[in-house]
DNA sequence: TGCAACTGATTGCAATTTGCAATCAGATTG
DNA sequence: CAATCTGATTGCAAATTGCAATCAGTTGCA
């Protein structure tokens, strides 16, 4: 799982970075799910990543410059993983991947609502999101005005609205007449 | 190499389609390199794909609906592979991948000039390119006015200009004084 | 006619990668 | 001081990968 340098083509090199089944999933969970710890990534993983694979990929992503690791002051054995600028600029790729998958693949409604919102928002929303990520992970000053809902909040709200609506559809009348 | 349906997340499902080292490379060569035959994909492959892997991936991409296969009238054993609409709409993803790789990875100049042109052209250029691909692969009427250079011609010209310039830099004075 | 080259693959095989389950030692909590 | 939580590591079976050789039918050319 290292970089082969099979060719200097940008698409090939990008594939050598995250052309496997897990690297981009981990980055997705960090970017969209706000995960920062090993256990968060392990236990809340939708796709059920194994701990050895997670450990291997985190290490690899650090070597490649997509993640950094720091001690968590609250626990001597706890590590906090942060996205680098290199990883944050994957947001447009994630958005395009999500948009494509939503059209062509059998996505579930509650999981694709975020892709839809991100697609509708377009580059300006992606920029706002990347700005927020820089604030969270790199300590950069936030350019987003306070009060304005964060992109992650918007994504979360949209997700929960779909979940709530679907629960209502299954059980339309909760209490008896 | 089948679809697991690990989760209904669009990004995950997209990864299950081309989250391997070869599928997107094959599609890249068809989209940008204009390859249509097995041997073209095999012999002109920059990354040196093996014939069994190529055969396997072509089959898989057909099963997934990204490619179709037809007989070549010129040769009874020759097959022509065509992109489907599903594959053609990968152009924006390819463009983003190329743009990201160009910034963060050790790309070679002559291979990244295409990514640069595609990035500069933005969505309008991508649309024109997809229109041309629909014309080539799906027999759709071309909306691009005749006379206007095709995107593939532009990409090719840009590539050759870089190669020529680099040759000149290495050997600045060809003939003796 | 005859033979080499070309067509799109397939097969055998060794090496690598994968994912599951169990385990680890140190840190913290109750 | 025992249970739990931390980020891993190890053993192992199964799957995947890529290289090399091979295949049978088709074609071009002498």
* Percent composition of chain A: helix, strand, coil (DSSP 3-state, to 5): 60, 10, 30
Average of pLDDT values for A113-125? 96
Nearest to A25 by CA among A42, A9, A3: A42
User: Strand C nucleotides below 7 A of a protein CB?
Assistant: 6-12, 17-22, 25-28
Whether B1 contacts chain A with CB within 8 A:
no
Compare all CA atoms of chain B with the CA of A105 and give the residue at the minimum distance: B13
Query: So what's the pLDDT on residue A44?
Result: 82
Domains and CATH numbers, chain A: 10-87 (1.10.10.10), 90-170 (no CATH)
Task: Using the predicted structure, report yes or no on whether residue A98 has a pLDDT greater than 90.
Answer: yes
Distance CA A58, CA A67 (A): 8
How far does the CA of A50 sit from the C1' of C28, in Å? Answer: 25
Average of pLDDT values for A53-60? 88
User: Strand D nucleotides below 7 A of a protein CB?
Assistant: 5-11, 16-21, 24-27
As averages over each run of 10 residues, the pLDDT of chain B (177 residues) reads 74 87 89 90 84 87 90 82 95 96 93 94 96 94 83 93 87 55
Query: So what's the pLDDT on residue B177?
Result: 44
Q: Which helix (H) or strand (E) holds B69?
A: strand B67-71
How far does the CA of A131 sit from the C1' of D3, in Å? Answer: 42
How far does the CA of A54 sit from the C1' of D3, in Å? Answer: 26
Q: Which helix (H) or strand (E) holds B51?
A: helix B51-63
Size of interface A-B (CB pairs under 8 A): 157
Whether A93 contacts chain B with CB within 8 A:
yes
Query: So what's the pLDDT on residue A177?
Result: 45
More confident residue, A77 or A35: A35
Whether B120 contacts chain A with CB within 8 A:
no
Asked if residue B1 keeps its beta carbon closer than 7 A to nucleic acid strand D, the reply is yes
Hey, what are A18's tokens?
């995250």
Contacts of A101 in chain B (CB under 8 A): 9-14, 17
Structure confidence by residue, pLDDT tens digits, A18-35: 888 888 999 999 999 999
- Rounded mean pLDDT of chain A? 88
CA–CA distances in Å: residue B94 to residues A134, A157, B32: 25, 30, 10
């Amino acid at each position: 799982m290292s970089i082969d340098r099979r060719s200097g083509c940008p698409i090939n090199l990008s594939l050598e970075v995250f052309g496997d089944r897990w690297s981009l999933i981990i980055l997705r969970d960090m970017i969209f799910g706000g995960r920062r710890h090993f256990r968060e990534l392990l236990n809340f993983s939708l796709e059920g990543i194994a701990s050895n694979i997670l450990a291997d990929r985190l290490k690899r992503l650090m070597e490649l410059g997509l993640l950094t690791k720091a001690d968590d002051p609250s626990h001597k054995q706890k590590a906090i993983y942060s996205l680098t600028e290199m990883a944050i600029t994957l947001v447009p790729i994630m958005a395009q991947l999500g948009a494509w998958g939503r059209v062509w693949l059998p996505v579930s409604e509650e999981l694709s609502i975020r892709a839809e919102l991100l697609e509708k928002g377009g580059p300006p929303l992606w920029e706002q999101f990347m700005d927020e990520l820089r604030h969270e992970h790199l300590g950069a000053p936030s350019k987003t005005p306070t009060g304005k809902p964060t992109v992650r909040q918007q994504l979360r709200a949209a997700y929960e609205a779909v979940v709530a609506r679907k629960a209502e559809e299954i059980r339309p009348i909760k209490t008896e007449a």
